[in-house]
Structure 1
């Protein structure tokens, strides 16, 4: 029977194992003990778990890592590239691959930035003041509004990159290309409005841009016909539009006065505030529907037909879902002190 090792020696050996010493390194300090004996005691102390290896010492201190984590959260460091610049500044050279690995181990992961509307400094105060003036309105109050806007829909789709899937190199096939017409910005501008009763009649502008004259025709046809269809009373119905130049021109103001609309309410909208207008979400849904077609429209008239077909598929419930979000939008602008919001 093997004679047991004194308890003091066992404690010394256990301490060395805890410091990640190897069997051979410990044996050099206890020459009368064989490797098999040391291995048996390691198993006694730690079971079958493997001894942790010390690994390479980190170049960064705890203070460095705390600084990086804090400044990634508050945006002072712009992702791995910003971290690399900081490390270079303090004399540490590290590859982007290692930086990404460290950040992921710390729980950081990349996310797509939320696209927001740009707001000039002078308009932040105006947005905040407008939101505070309207913070008392309820969803029933907002349902008396009609939210309008225009959106551009391109003939050739969005400007984003398109991809195709393949498993072999071949000559380009039709589905692997995306046709472009040099100098061609073909597309249409579509005007619409959402109300608590449903969607308005839409107007598609196929040529040119929306100026005061074109806008007056849109109002004459689409707005007036929608007002008549739903039986809206101009004294209680509130028409919303943004501050685009055709919307606020002298000719447009004269049109509103002539047709009995209150300019004080029509023109009461803060600049650079698409995040306050619920119809922006409708444009997003409309374009998603158009992108589901297996082929792209090849003519302006075909594109116009598709837009009208998808526009009139929206329901009253769709309108209410977005209009009823107005109190949340107002509160978001107040919380951001007039800065852009997630809406």
Structure 2
């Protein structure tokens, strides 16, 4: 930006008053660009000042160096509050409020957001995820369409893990109708289901507070899984992916071999599979309802083939993201 001195501005105004044409105009454009000449003249006509007044407001209290120091404090611990950062900044010689801290961080692209919930990854998880994704890095969406996935998920019969919003008047925060009741040890039901690019398969809801074991699992495979394979694939070859500890029992492995079911593996813990199908169902199901089981079945059967197919077609992208992050969490 070109800086124009007060003396130069005065000359331009004097030329303007004498009629800014001919030789006076040529003299003016020799000392300032045409656009700046017009701005100076407009400012004098509208406000009566040669130099525009400074904008109102308090002067900036911090320097760029102090702002960079604040950013270092924030990046050192992502969870530090603005009030705590203001204290650290004050110890470094900068007196500023928490509001100023938030403004300076916002200027530097650091915005406060709710932390994403992701499962904790151990070193073994990271290594196994990389091995899995490297093994199938060349697989296309068509290849993954020949896989039938299965998994289990717990559903709490009372209470939710998320937040619930309500609209109320002042003083009604603890009103009975505005509360979200909780219990100390909510009862849980475990659900097993399988799906492929052809749609969702069978669903099994275990009795309350009953976890899957090898006896339950073998019965589920016999009564639910095999009929789904016949219905969706018929005589076509397909691969089966599962990975819970009880899935790897010798009796299960031998039984699957006898049924000529080929296993896709090794499946790592916290694998990049499209398991978020369960999270979709959990968003739809009212967990405070006493009709939890029929609701889960209802929402499962309502899942469209297009949705499942879209999730499975994302497998090449999931694998690529895990490889890109070197086994760490990805955007999926």
Q: TM-score, normalised by structure 2?
A: 0.77
Q: 1:290 to 1:10 in 2, by over 3 A?
A: closer
Q: Output aligned runs, 1:237-316, within 5 Å.
A: 237-242=238-243, 244-262=244-262, 265-273=263-271, 276-278=272-274, 280-291=275-286, 296-298=288-290, 302-316=291-305
| Larger relative contact order (Cα-Cα within 8 Å, sequence gap ≥ 6) | 1
| Residue in 1 that maps onto 2:191 | 190
What is the CA–CA distance in structure 2 between the aligned matches of 1:118 and 1:164, rounded to whole Å?
Answer: 32
Cα deviation for residue 200 of structure 1 reads: 0.6
Cα deviation for residue 317 of structure 1 reads: 1.1
Q: SS of 1:164's equivalent? A: coil
Cα deviation for residue 89 of structure 1 reads: 4.8
CA contact (8 A) 2:145 2:196 kept: yes
What is the CA–CA distance in structure 1 between the aligned matches of 2:329 and 2:310, rounded to whole Å?
Answer: 21
Cα deviation for residue 93 of structure 1 reads: 4.2
Q: 1:247 to 1:267 in 2, by over 3 A?
A: farther
What is the CA–CA distance in structure 1 between the aligned matches of 2:95 and 2:181, rounded to whole Å?
Answer: 45
Counting matched residue pairs gives 292
Cα displacement string for residues 235-293 of structure 1 (whole angstroms, at most 9, x for unaligned residues): x2111112x2112122322332232223xx344212232xx111x221122112214xx
What is the CA–CA distance in structure 1 between the aligned matches of 2:189 and 2:157, rounded to whole Å?
Answer: 8
Question: Gapped runs of 5+ residues in structure 2?
Answer: 11-43
Is residue 326 from structure 1 mapped to residue 331 from structure 2 by the alignment? Answer: no
CA contact (8 A) 1:116 1:341 kept: no
What is the CA–CA distance in structure 2 between the aligned matches of 1:143 and 1:104, rounded to whole Å?
Answer: 44
Q: 1:132 to 1:147 in 2, by over 3 A?
A: same
Q: TM-score, normalised by structure 1?
A: 0.74
What is the CA–CA distance in structure 2 between the aligned matches of 1:311 and 1:194, rounded to whole Å?
Answer: 10
CA contact (8 A) 2:125 2:268 kept: yes
CA contact (8 A) 1:248 1:267 kept: no
Q: 1:62 to 1:306 in 2, by over 3 A?
A: same
What is the CA–CA distance in structure 2 between the aligned matches of 1:325 and 1:286, rounded to whole Å?
Answer: 19
The two structures, once aligned, show a CA RMSD in angstroms of 3.1
What is the CA–CA distance in structure 2 between the aligned matches of 1:272 and 1:189, rounded to whole Å?
Answer: 18
What is the CA–CA distance in structure 1 between the aligned matches of 2:297 and 2:198, rounded to whole Å?
Answer: 18
Cα deviation for residue 327 of structure 1 reads: 0.6
Q: SS of 1:140's equivalent? A: helix
